[in-house]
Amino acid sequence: MLVAGTSDSAIMLEWAMGELMRNPSIMKKAQEEIRETVNGNTISDADIQNMHYLKMIVKETLRLHGPPFLIPRISRRDCVVDGYDIPAKTRILVNALACATDPDSWEDPESFIPERFENRYINYSGTDFEFIPFGSGRRVCPGITFGVGIIENALTTLLYHFDWELPHGLTPHELDLTEGTVLSTLPKHPIEVVPVIVSLET
Ligand code: HEM
């Protein structure tokens, strides 16, 4: 509970910031939406519910950088899936990340394009199998609402109060978003960003 509840959400936040730093036009659009929606210095849950672009950014981050493997399953009886014979008691590893980047399901799957969710209603509750960053079925993540809420809140706060720059004179295209190799896909190199204080009208 503690690891899943803290590290997964923090990792997704880091990926979201990394993708926004690499795609300044998406960052700008997100900040415009947030700064138009928030009134004053306090960001409310109601404000966040109206941030449709922010929600698409969170979805796209989960699609492109969600956990690769679900909790292993074991088949209870012999069965045939897609022409493959699966004997009883076979340990099955579902690669959720491969589903989320399958070119048969997603156009330009390796690119970060939040707008792809604009006219495609697809949810992460575990019934759309091309997008299962929280798993599916009986072992589905029980912290979906909490996890998404943490990411949305933290991202909104960071983008509302600050503008962001890359350190060491890096350009967006030079930002290294290579994945490391652990159970959750962490960035291989920590993503460094520099906050720039902005004065917002209240
Ligand atoms: C963005 C954040 C998160 C992501 C991407 C995520 C993803 C996942 C995934 C993929 C699974 C395996 C599901 C399956 O095999 O079908 C899982 C399980 C689990 N998650 Fe999350 N999770 C997140 C946040 C949280 C939070 C905030 C909590 C609790 C506070 C939490 C608690 C758990 C627990 C307890 C399980 C194990 C469920 C079981 O054993 O049946 N997760 N999570």
* Domains by residue range for the chain, with CATH: 2-67+97-197 (1.10.630.10)
More confident residue, 182 or 115: 115
125-181 pLDDT, tens per residue? Answer: 999 999 999 999 999 999 999 999 999 999 999 999 999 999 999 999 999 999 886
Nearest CA to ligand 1 atom 19: 141
- The tokens for 197 are 């204080």
Helical axes 52-65 vs 24-37, angle rounded to 10°: 140
Give the pLDDT score at 7.
Answer: 85
Nearest CA to ligand 1 atom 13: 135
Give the pLDDT score at 180.
Answer: 81
69-90 pLDDT, tens per residue? Answer: 899 999 999 999 999 999 999 9
Nearest CA to ligand 1 atom 10: 134
104-123 pLDDT, tens per residue? Answer: 999 999 999 999 999 888 98
Count Cβ atoms within 10 A of the Cβ of residue 91 and give its class: 0-12 exposed, 13-18 middle, 19 or more buried. exposed
Query: CB of 148 within 8 A of CB of 95?
Result: no
Q: Ligand 1 mean position to 124 CA, how many Å?
A: 12
Give the pLDDT score at 188.
Answer: 81
Average pLDDT, the chain: 92
CA 98 – CA 100 distance, rounded (Å):
5
More confident residue, 146 or 4: 146
**pLDDT higher than threshold 80 for residue 202:** no
**pLDDT higher than threshold 80 for residue 200:** no
**pLDDT higher than threshold 70 for residue 184:** no
Q: Ligand 1 mean position to 34 CA, how many Å?
A: 28
Read off the pLDDT band of 197 (50, 70, 90).
confident
The sign of the CA dihedral 159, 65, 151, 13 is negative
Name the nearest CA neighbour of 112 among 177, 166, 195, 163: 177
For residue 91, give the amino acid letter.
R
CA 129 – CA 76 distance, rounded (Å):
21
- Ligand 1 atom nearest the C-alpha of 148 is 1
Give the pLDDT score at 41.
Answer: 81
Instruction: For 22-33, give one letter per residue: b (16+ CB within 10 A) or e.
Output: bbeebbebbbeb
Percent of the chain past pLDDT 90, that is, above it, reads: 78
Helix, strand, coil percentages for the chain (3-state, nearest 5): 45, 10, 45
**Which residue shows structure tokens 């074991």?**
74
Nearest CA to ligand 1 atom 14: 135
Q: Ligand 1 mean position to 150 CA, how many Å?
A: 13
